[in-house]
Amino acid sequence: MSPSLTLVPQSLAQRSGVWEWADGWFGLCKLALRGLLTTPQCVSYCSATNVGNAVAGNAAERRNALLGAAYEDYSVPSKRTDERGTMPQLQTLLGEGCAVVVGLPKSFNLSGALRSATHIRLATAFAHRSGWGFLQSDVKACSGDVSLLTGLEYNQTEPSLLRDWLDLKLKRSDKVTVNLACSKPFFHPKVLIVLSPKKRFAVVGSGNLSKGGVQNNCECGVFVADASTIATLCRWFDDQFKAGKPLTQQMIEKYEPEYKKAKKWTAALERHQKETEEKIAELGEASFAKWNRALRLAESYFRNKDFNAKYRRRKKSANEMLQYLNPPTFEFDEHSWFMFYQKTVLGALDSRSRDKVFKSKFHLTNALRELASDPERAIPDVMGRKGKLRIKGFGVNTVTKILAAKFPDEWPVYNSRVAGVLADFGYTAPRGVGLDGRYIVFRNTMKKFMTACKERGLSHVDAISLDAFFLERSKELGF
Residue 222 · residue 103 · CB < 8 Å? yes
What is the percent of the chain with per-residue pLDDT over 90, rounded to a whole number?
A: 68
Cα dist from 192 to 110, 179, 200, 229, 473, whole Å: 11, 15, 11, 13, 62
Amino acid 195: pLDDT: 97
- CB-CB contact of 66 with 47 (8 Å): no
Per the structure, the count of domains in the chain is 3
User: Does any domain span residue 338?
Assistant: yes
Is 79 buried (19+), middle (13-18) or exposed (0-12) by CB count in 10 A? exposed
| pLDDT tens digits along 118-149 | 999 999 999 999 999 999 999 999 999 999 99
Residues 169 and 73 grouped into a single domain: no
Pairing of strands 190-195, 176-180: unpaired
The reported pLDDT for the residue numbered 29 is 36
Cβ atoms of 280 and 19 within 8 Å: the answer is: no
Do 217 and 309 fall into the same domain?
A: no
**pTM of the full structure:** 0.51
Range of the domain at 13: 5-86
| Shared domain check, 373 and 337 | yes
Q: Are residues 103 and 38 in the same domain?
A: no
| Widest distance between CA atoms in the chain | 92
Q: What is the pLDDT of residue 280?
A: 58
Which pLDDT score, from 0 to 100, does residue 107 have? Answer: 87
Q: At what angle do helices 291-302 and 463-477 cross, to 10 degrees?
A: 100
The answer on 147 and 192 residing in a single domain is yes
Cα separation, 379 vs 345, whole angstroms: 22
The identity of residue 423, as a single letter, is: A
d(C-alpha 308, C-alpha 90), whole Å:
48
- Residue 403 forms part of a structural domain: yes
CA distance 340 to 325: 7
* pLDDT class of 331 with cuts at 50, 70, 90: very high
Q: Are 123 and 80 within one domain? A: no
Same domain? 455 vs 331? yes
CATH number at residue 193: 3.30.870.10
Which H/E stretch holds residue 427? strand 427-428
In the chain, the amino acid numbered 221 is: G
Residue 81 three-state SS: helix
Residue 38 lies in a domain: yes
451 lies in the same domain as 353: yes
pLDDT score at 265: 81
Edge-first strand listing for the sheet containing 99-102? 99-102, 219-224, 200-205, 190-195, 119-124, 145-150, 176-180, 245-246
Are residue 40 and residue 165 in the same domain, yes or no? no
β-strands 200-205, 190-195 pairing: antiparallel
- What is the DSSP code string of 220-277? EEEEE--HHHHHHHHHHHHHHHHHSEE--HHHHHHHHHHHHHHHHHHHHHHHHHHHHH
In a domain, 104, yes or no: yes
Query: Do 450 and 340 share a domain, yes or no?
Result: yes
